[in-house]
Amino acid sequence: MENESLKTFYFRPERSRGVLFLIIGFLLIILLFFILFLVIPSINIHTILILLIIFVVICIIFIINFYNLSNMQYIISPKHKLIIKWGLLIKELDINTISEVIFFPTRIYQGIRLDGLRLPGYSVGLFDLKVNEKDEKINMFATNFKSLVIIKVQKEQKIKYYGITPSKPEIFVKELNNRIL
């Protein structure tokens, strides 16, 4: 039987409607700009260029977020690392610095977005959330909050929190706790 601590575990995020909301938002932006160009026929070339640049920038933002959400993954590696992948960003956390793993399922998000993106089914960035009766700043890489797992990382006196939503949170927490203890 293979030693469990030498095994790599891959977890996709919990399914959500985040991709659907990104696609709907993207299509609404395209529709809005199409209507703008039809409704205002006498737009001068400078205004058209400015609107076109804004349109391209917004499209790039939507495409990047779609790519990042599609490639989100949480990996428990045999090298005592927890790897959070979000698009091209790869965040490696040393398992020895993880002091607590909390399965924090909730149906309703009860926090404040400080920095990042929050759509139904998709939360990425810095969020303020109440954990253990205390407001904490949490780096979120999450989809559906019913499988929210909070990871407390402590290096010397500095404490950071990460919020992730693995598709099988109970197994994820069990495997991560097995490596911590």
Q: Tell me the average pLDDT across 154-172.
A: 89
Q: Let me know if residue 100 belongs to a domain.
A: yes
Contact 122, 145 (CB under 8 A): no
Q: Which is more confidently placed, 104 or 56?
A: 56
Asked if pLDDT for residue 1 goes beyond 50, the answer is no
pTM as predicted: 0.80
Q: Let me know if residue 175 belongs to a domain.
A: yes
Asked if pLDDT for residue 4 goes beyond 60, the answer is no
Q: What is the DSSP letter of 158?
A: E
Structural domain boundaries enclosing 98? 13-181
Asked if pLDDT for residue 73 goes beyond 80, the answer is yes
- Predicted pLDDT of residue 84: 94
Positive/negative CA dihedral, 105, 109, 113, 115: positive
Structural domain total, the chain = 1
Residue 95 CA, distance from chain mean position: 20
CA distance 137 to 58: 28
CA distance 149 to 19: 21
Q: Let me know if residue 7 belongs to a domain.
A: no
